[in-house]
Chain A
Amino acid sequence: MGKASFVVRRSLQLVVTFWAVGTVLFGLFRLMPGDPTSYIVSSSMTPEARQAIIASYGLNEPMHIQYIKFLQNIVVLDFGQSFHSNAPVSEVIATYLPNTLVLMLTAFVLAYAAGITLGVLSGWYRGSRFERTAVIVALVARSVPTFYVGLLVLWIFGAGFGVIPMSGMTSAGTANLSFFAMITSVDFLQHLAAPALVLAYYFMGYPLLIMRSSMLEVLSEDFIDVCRAKGLKERTIMFKHAARNALLPIVTAAAIALGYAVGGSVLIETVFAWPGIGREMVRAVLRRDFPVAQGTFMVLAATIIILNFIADLAYGYLDPRVTYD
């Protein structure tokens, strides 16, 4: 099979996956015990008023009509209105998604810069104490829950020393700035530092371990010996020759990991009260605001699905040896 037909087949698969996620989501919220309408209508309403509200959400129609409408609306990114605030769900998403992306991307860049460097070094100095320590640190970073590390950081640096804010993304009373002005303000950076560093520490282990084993593989190849024979400096061989060739697995792994990172934003945003999409999803679930829960979940799933797709396609371009069979 050629590259073109691989891309076509993979794209079709992407569409099918989206359809499947949407269908499952629809089914979950409709078929589970408990009537979704009971959360939006109160018992004190007159029957007519109740019917009017139910009809305004389209919940009085037969299931298959609701299903078709649901799928149509997903295509045009219309997830309905919040039961809670009445605002369109797409507006809710537009408010919270950028906050999540800023936090995740910051943490991700920090984590991969540190993780790749440490991975290169621990692959190079295989069997040394440095390598053993780095691997242990990576394992510990992935074993202790992020939200727990977040709690400890808040306790020590927030409640204890008072050097970081206890919650939120900006201080109360900050004037309403444009998004760009906000994310470049000092106040925002103060709020960003703690959650971003905690997340970076958690993410770091993965690139470190991948880079290390990728380095081990590259270092056993002949061209490294050639470099040595040419009399190149150790540092030149390590970063210019070995590390560059060992980077490939990181690229695709990073794309996939970024998707799961956004999907896993739930906990860190909850601990630091960061107004992101993961925390909003949890709040929507807890107050039974199904349209918002569906919409935000769809966004988290879509991030993963699309980044997996990109990783699959990128692999073929980055490594010409890949065949599609």
Chain B
Amino acid sequence: MAQEETTGSIFTDIDDGGSGEEINRWQRTARLWRETLSEHWGLLTDELSVKLSMLMVAFFMVVAVIAPYITENPPLQRQYESDAEIIILKWAEPSLLGADSGYLLGTTAEGFDIFSQLVYGTRAALLVGLIAAVFTAGIGTMVGLVAGYYGGKIDDALMRIVDFLYGMPMLPTVIILVALLGPSLWNIIFALIILQWRSTARVIRSQALSLRERPFVKAAEVAGAGDWHIISRHLAPNVLPMSFLYGSFAIAWAILTEAGVSFIGLGDPNTVSWGTMLQASRAYSALQFGAWWWFVPPGICIGLLVISGFLIGRGYEEITNPKLQ
């Protein structure tokens, strides 16, 4: 593959001059996108804070995948029987602090292994964060490109929808949707996506508006390129950095929102997340009993994962807008 083509700016288009080997259009599109991405990956990983954040995300990903090998206790399995009570109101002290219980972080008032909940909670957080981010960035980018490229009535209609969504308060809307649809992780993700694409769409649209007037788009139009061709091959690769930026912020916001919704008591009852752990600890007055090993670790995990998302986003922002440095 021609190496000199990757050295240009993100605005370089591949010039195949209609000659040479006949590669199909999908391969060409894929190549364009890959080059933009690899260039940005190089710039991004230059920064130390971004590198550390990526390591952090990678660490949580590994934990999520190998969770059953880290702890043998399922997160929602009682570790001991209650004394004929429905709710066990005694907890095992954490062995981390020298107690002889065999549970690293002790057990909850319901008899669940806290360490195991913490480990399995990673899965919920990453699931929510990554799925919400992919769809947020994907839908937002598509809508933004279509609105910005076509303009006129289509643009107006799409942007009125975005304006309407901007009038909806994030957390209360998610709470109402989840309460009505039923508390499950998928409904939380669904509610998040419905609202979150609004910011991506707005930003991508304004980028598409200005890109549409650039000479290379005009040239493609004159050469007889169709709408889809221009959007996918000339506009999309150029707005990709922005979509990724909003995608990485969306990971952070999605995790924060899921934690909040779960904390309020609308979390998925069949899944353990860091938010539901905090909710349970509060419901059983762990604060008053000073059982900090129950409620301190999940919050730290949320904070670490979210700040990683923000730092990656910020690093990316500095690439797309060097003025910020």
In the complex, B152 has a CB within 8 A of chain A: no
The answer to whether B181 touches A17, judged by C-beta atoms less than 8 angstroms apart, is: no
Contact of A148 among B169, B176, B181, B303 (CB under 8 A): B303
Q: Identify the stretch in B21-29, B39-47, B290-298 within 8 Å (CB) of chain A at 4 or more residues.
A: B290-298
A196 to chain B, nearest CB (A): 19
B322 to chain A, nearest CB (A): 11
Dominant secondary structure at the A interface: helix
The answer to whether A143 touches B303, judged by C-beta atoms less than 8 angstroms apart, is: yes
Q: Mark A131-149, 1 if CB is under 8 A from B, else 0.
A: 0000000011011110110
Known: A147-B278, A270-B263. A301 touches B307 (CB 8 A): no
Contact of B175 among A154, A262, A281 (CB under 8 A): A281
Q: Identify the stretch in B74-82, B83-91, B159-167, B214-222 within 8 Å (CB) of chain A at 4 or more residues.
A: B159-167
Q: Which residues of B contact A152 (CB under 8 A)?
A: 296, 299
Interfacial residues, chain B to chain A (CB-CB below 8 A): 160, 163-164, 166-173, 175-177, 179-181, 252, 256, 259-260, 263-266, 278, 282, 287-288, 290, 292, 295-296, 299, 302-303, 306-307, 310-311, 314, 323-324
Q: Which residues of B contact A304 (CB under 8 A)?
A: 166-169
The answer to whether B164 touches A17, judged by C-beta atoms less than 8 angstroms apart, is: yes
Q: Which of A143, A270, A300 has the most CB of B within 10 A?
A: A143
In the complex, A171 has a CB within 8 A of chain B: no
Q: Identify the stretch in A53-61, A93-101, A106-114, A155-163 within 8 Å (CB) of chain B at 4 or more residues.
A: A155-163
The answer to whether B168 touches A32, judged by C-beta atoms less than 8 angstroms apart, is: no
Closest A residue to B169 by beta carbon equals: A263
The answer to whether A151 touches B302, judged by C-beta atoms less than 8 angstroms apart, is: no
Contact of A144 among B179, B181, B303 (CB under 8 A): B303
Q: Which residues of A contact B310 (CB under 8 A)?
A: 139, 142-143
16 new A-B contacts at CB < 8 Å, known A267-B260, A301-B169: A17-B164, A20-B164, A32-B180, A145-B260, A147-B263, A151-B287, A152-B296, A166-B288, A216-B323, A260-B169, A262-B169, A263-B169, A266-B172, A301-B168, A304-B168, A304-B169
Q: Which residues of B contact A263 (CB under 8 A)?
A: 169-172
In the complex, A297 has a CB within 8 A of chain B: yes
Q: Which residues of B contact A301 (CB under 8 A)?
A: 167-169, 172
A266 to chain B, nearest CB (A): 5
The answer to whether B299 touches A264, judged by C-beta atoms less than 8 angstroms apart, is: no
A-B contact pairs, 11 of them (CB 8 A): A17-B163, A33-B180, A143-B252, A143-B256, A144-B302, A144-B307, A145-B256, A166-B287, A264-B170, A271-B282, A285-B179
Q: Which residues of B contact A166 (CB under 8 A)?
A: 287-288
Contact of A285 among B176, B287, B323 (CB under 8 A): B176
In the complex, A82 has a CB within 8 A of chain B: no
8 A Cβ contacts from A274-308 to B: 278, 281-282, 285-286, 293, 297, 300-301, 303-305, 308
Closest B residue to A261 by beta carbon equals: B169
Q: Which of A147, A297, A305 has the most CB of B within 10 A?
A: A147
Cα of A216 to Cα of B325 in the assembled complex, Å: 9
Q: Which residues of B contact A264 (CB under 8 A)?
A: 169-171
Contact of B180 among A29, A145, A305 (CB under 8 A): A29
Known: A264-B170, A266-B175. A139 touches B290 (CB 8 A): no
The answer to whether A308 touches B167, judged by C-beta atoms less than 8 angstroms apart, is: yes
The answer to whether B180 touches A278, judged by C-beta atoms less than 8 angstroms apart, is: no
B323 to chain A, nearest CB (A): 7
Cα of A300 to Cα of B260 in the assembled complex, Å: 17
B153 to chain A, nearest CB (A): 16
Q: Which residues of A contact B164 (CB under 8 A)?
A: 17, 20-21
Contact of A213 among B282, B288, B311, B324 (CB under 8 A): B324
Q: Which residues of A contact B181 (CB under 8 A)?
A: 32
The answer to whether A282 touches B175, judged by C-beta atoms less than 8 angstroms apart, is: yes
B285 to chain A, nearest CB (A): 9
Q: Which of A32, A145, A216 has the most CB of B within 10 A?
A: A145
B41 to chain A, nearest CB (A): 22
Q: Which residues of A contact B170 (CB under 8 A)?
A: 260, 263-264
Q: Which residues of B contact A281 (CB under 8 A)?
A: 172, 175
Q: Which residues of B contact A158 (CB under 8 A)?
A: 287
Q: Which residues of B contact A216 (CB under 8 A)?
A: 323-324
B218 to chain A, nearest CB (A): 21
Cα of A215 to Cα of B106 in the assembled complex, Å: 50
Q: Which residues of B contact A139 (CB under 8 A)?
A: 307, 310-311, 314
Closest B residue to A212 by beta carbon equals: B324
Contact of B260 among A29, A147, A159, A260 (CB under 8 A): A147
Known: A147-B278, A266-B264, A301-B169. A286 touches B179 (CB 8 A): yes
Q: Which residues of A contact B288 (CB under 8 A)?
A: 159, 166
A184 to chain B, nearest CB (A): 29
Cα of A158 to Cα of B299 in the assembled complex, Å: 18
The answer to whether B278 touches A278, judged by C-beta atoms less than 8 angstroms apart, is: no
Q: Which of A17, A34, A140, A166 has the most CB of B within 10 A?
A: A17
